[in-house]
Structure 1
Amino acid sequence: MSRTKQLLKNTSILVVAKISTQVVNFLLLPLYTALLSTAQYGEVDIYTSLAMIVIPFLTLQVEMGIFRYFISCRDEQSRQQTISTGFAVIGVVLLLVTLIYILVSVCFPFRYSILLYFFYLSQTISLVLLQVCRSMGDNFSYGLSSFIASSLAVVLNIIFIAILRMGVEGILYAAIIAQVMSSIYMLRRTRVLSLCSWNSIDTSVCRNLLSYSVPLVFNQISSWAINYSDRIIILHFWGMSLNGIYAIANKFSNVTMTFFGMYNLAWTESVVRCIQDVDSVDYINRLFELTFKVYLILIIAIINILPFIFPFMVDEEYHDAYYHVPILLTAMFFSGMAATIGSIYLAYNKTKNVSITTTMAGICNVIVHFALLNYCGLYAASISTLVSFALLFIYRFIFVRSFMPLTCSPVRLLPQLAVLCVAWLAYVEVNYPLIFLGGLLNLYYVYKLATEHGAGLKAMFRRK
């Protein structure tokens, strides 16, 4: 199978699994906003947001090292060494963190301490097993397990929130049960435990895994600073209710994050596997420009559609979230493109460079947020997110050219960016004729993309 066919196949499997669940989640938004107060929704958002910074410390990002090195293994012994050593490192870290957590929770009791422990532990185990699925090239199991977890969580949320009225506690229970069931499925599907052996634990493999993975912990911390430090600042200065409004605004941009994230998983695997090919630079550059244009089309389409459906999906209490959505959607565009470049760093084993660029963007996010806090209020959060992701994209694009000649033509991309500005204006003014114009221009770029890249894609499909 050609590289592009494999990329699209993997992306399709992952996206279908995620998008189907996202649709269900959006249909349930009226239920959540009706039954949970803004304060409760803000509290849940804090717990889920903290997962992005808690889980990297629980695994040291060794699951990413397992993925990177497992797909390079050429024999059964090296696969056993990679899995056994990776699982051993994660097991030791989890044991140490568990002991510390027990001590802290006994000395400083806090609400939901037991539930939160299993909430983060279940997500950690599920995340590691998801990377194992990717390592084995079993993207079907990856997608299906994600669908199982998300769908089961939705069903349990309906039971626990709408029927049993358990509030925040019910959401935590639903998440734990869903992740446990998903993990059981992956264990049975991959039979990864059969690769685990005490005799296969290797110190040199351990050093390689940690050398690759530990820098990614700092990358995740910085990514969290960009994505979720805003929640902490909002909570401190504006309270739980406004955090709930900001969380609803992020729900819409998270749709694109889901698609971009699933595509990037498949893209990372494709880049790692093709990096030694003689035409890898040409292949990566073609797909990079195509990705840029497709991401813009998706963002513009969502901005054009939302004025029609937002009032029906979100309770009036959350209406202020409306004006943050286009800012956050544009931020997710730059985030997605930065992640696309980040995959090239990972393929070249330059995880330290990934961390450096993300750290710079994270620092920028916090500085801009505080600088705008007294002038822009809640908008400081969405604007700082946009600025930091835009700069992250620029940082990575500049730095990647030091080891890989990545190209991007501003002249070819600026007209499409102008259409994004039209969509923004139409959205804010709720100007339906202008929205219609933006939609027509976006459809023109869909047609143009198909005609310009059709021949190139067919050629890449035929290439083995």
Structure 2
Amino acid sequence: VSTIRIRQIKEMTKYSLPLVPNALAWWIMSASDRYMLAFFLGFSATGIYAVAHKFPMLLSILNGVFYQAWQISSIDQYNSPERKVFYSNTFRILYTFMFLGTILFSMILKPFVTLMTGTGFQESWRFVPFLILGTVFHSFSQFFGVGYLAAKKTGGAFRTSGFGAAANIGVNLLLIPIIGIQAASISTAIAFFVMWIARLIETRRYFTVTINWTRLSLGITLVFVSLMMAYFGITGTVVQMICLLSFATLERKTLKALLKKLRTVLAEKLRGRT
């Protein structure tokens, strides 16, 4: 019995120990922006950035609900023969939701942020677009990060988080003295993009996610164009509407399948009440 317990303790330690520095790397990514802004520009810049940081939380909440379900499902399906199909379909659903939410939010970004903030913080809308882009890449990195948990190879989570933290610090040091607060927003987007790509590459040894790179690249382009319109303070434009309709057309099969599934779930719940 003692031998079994020792083996279990060793396995648990090997599994959980890399998650400690991984959490530290995540903390560095979330805190370094504010510390460096305070150092280079003062606490007023930190306050404006903190206000801007609150608005991407709307997308983070959506991703958080998805993440909780994905964390359980990915582990349950890890040894399934249908794993590749399940993981690939789930990632397509994730980016469809995130891209759709991002384009919709970008269409009302400036008036919404201006309405919701005080007089001294209304310029914070300028820094939201890149933070939203960072939230999208954050959701992608979380998706692939769960794979480390399912495969019980959590050391990779620490390594890739370290890449993201290094990118975040490097871009902040390079750009904050030059372009100010916007550098922190850009560094966040770049850091999570780096982390996502690193995890995408590294997790291939544990599982495969089939990605239609043409469709994904087109989706990212449409999101970027819509966010750039918001970045320049142009919201609710024909260009953004075209981006929205183009993406909905691009992912129409995914959206139809999701709507069909939603109708089925709602119908079952309504029948259960009667």
> Which TM-score band applies after superposition, normalised by the shorter structure?
0.7 to 0.9
Question: What CA distance in whole angstroms lies between the structure 1 residues aligned with 2:30 and 2:108?
Answer: 24
Residue 36 of structure 2 corresponds to 233
Residue 449 of structure 1 corresponds to 251
Question: What CA distance in whole angstroms lies between the structure 2 residues aligned with 1:298 and 1:310?
Answer: 16
Question: What CA distance in whole angstroms lies between the structure 2 residues aligned with 1:450 and 1:254?
Answer: 26
Residue 428 of structure 1 corresponds to 231
Contact persistence 1:400–1:406 (CA under 8 A): no
Residue 326 of structure 1 corresponds to 129
Residue 274 of structure 1 corresponds to 77
1:441 Cα deviation (Å)?
3.1
Contact persistence 2:145–2:157 (CA under 8 A): yes
2:146 to 326, 336, 343: 343
Contact persistence 2:84–2:210 (CA under 8 A): no
1:455 Cα deviation (Å)?
4.8
Question: What CA distance in whole angstroms lies between the structure 1 residues aligned with 2:62 and 2:255?
Answer: 21
1:368 Cα deviation (Å)?
1.3
1:263 to 48, 62, 66: 66
Residue 365 of structure 1 corresponds to 168
Structure 2 CA distance for partners of 1:409 and 1:233, relative to 1, 3 Å: same
Question: What CA distance in whole angstroms lies between the structure 2 residues aligned with 1:330 and 1:432?
Answer: 16
Contact persistence 1:222–1:355 (CA under 8 A): yes
Question: What CA distance in whole angstroms lies between the structure 2 residues aligned with 1:308 and 1:373?
Answer: 26
Question: What CA distance in whole angstroms lies between the structure 2 residues aligned with 1:386 and 1:392?
Answer: 10
Question: What amino acid maps onto 2:15 in structure 1?
Answer: Y
Residue 406 of structure 1 corresponds to 209
Question: What amino acid maps onto 1:445 in structure 2?
Answer: F
Deviations 1:227-278 (CA, angstroms, capped at 9, x unpaired): 2211111222222221111100100012222221221121010010111211
Question: What CA distance in whole angstroms lies between the structure 2 residues aligned with 1:246 and 1:330?
Answer: 15
Determine what percentage of the aligned residue pairs are the same residue.
24
Structure 1, unaligned runs of 5 or more = 1-201
1:417 Cα deviation (Å)?
2.1
Structure 2 CA distance for partners of 1:455 and 1:378, relative to 1, 3 Å: closer
Question: What CA distance in whole angstroms lies between the structure 1 residues aligned with 2:90 and 2:113?
Answer: 33
Question: What CA distance in whole angstroms lies between the structure 1 residues aligned with 2:43 and 2:128?
Answer: 19
Structure 2 CA distance for partners of 1:246 and 1:453, relative to 1, 3 Å: closer
Aligned positions of 1:123-134 closer than 5 A: none
Deviations 1:69-95 (CA, angstroms, capped at 9, x unpaired): xxxxxxxxxxxxxxxxxxxxxxxxxxx
Count residues in correspondence.
259
Structure 2 CA distance for partners of 1:241 and 1:263, relative to 1, 3 Å: same
TM-score (ref. length: structure 2): 0.86
Question: What CA distance in whole angstroms lies between the structure 2 residues aligned with 1:456 and 1:248?
Answer: 34
Residue 93 of structure 2 corresponds to 290
Structure 2, unaligned runs of 5 or more = 265-274
1:430 Cα deviation (Å)?
2.9
- The answer as to 2:31 corresponding to 1:242 is no
SS in 1 for 2:220: helix
Residue 240 of structure 2 corresponds to 438
1:308 to 102, 106, 111: 111
Question: What amino acid maps onto 2:97 in structure 1?
Answer: V
1:317 Cα deviation (Å)?
0.3
1:416 Cα deviation (Å)?
2.1
Question: What amino acid maps onto 1:229 in structure 2?
Answer: S
Contact persistence 2:223–2:243 (CA under 8 A): no
Question: What CA distance in whole angstroms lies between the structure 2 residues aligned with 1:398 and 1:250?
Answer: 29
Question: What CA distance in whole angstroms lies between the structure 2 residues aligned with 1:431 and 1:361?
Answer: 31
SS in 2 for 1:262: helix
2:221 to 406, 418, 423: 418
Residue 12 of structure 1 corresponds to none
Question: What CA distance in whole angstroms lies between the structure 2 residues aligned with 1:432 and 1:233?
Answer: 30
Question: What amino acid maps onto 1:437 in structure 2?
Answer: V
Residue 168 of structure 1 corresponds to none
Question: What CA distance in whole angstroms lies between the structure 1 residues aligned with 2:91 and 2:227?
Answer: 24
| Higher gyration radius (CA) | 1
Residue 386 of structure 1 corresponds to 189
Alignment RMSD: 2.3
- The answer as to 2:7 corresponding to 1:207 is no
Question: What CA distance in whole angstroms lies between the structure 2 residues aligned with 1:297 and 1:255?
Answer: 13
Contact persistence 2:19–2:155 (CA under 8 A): yes
Structure 2 CA distance for partners of 1:456 and 1:282, relative to 1, 3 Å: farther
Question: What CA distance in whole angstroms lies between the structure 2 residues aligned with 1:327 and 1:456?
Answer: 28
Contact persistence 1:368–1:384 (CA under 8 A): yes
SS in 2 for 1:283: helix
1:204 Cα deviation (Å)?
4.0
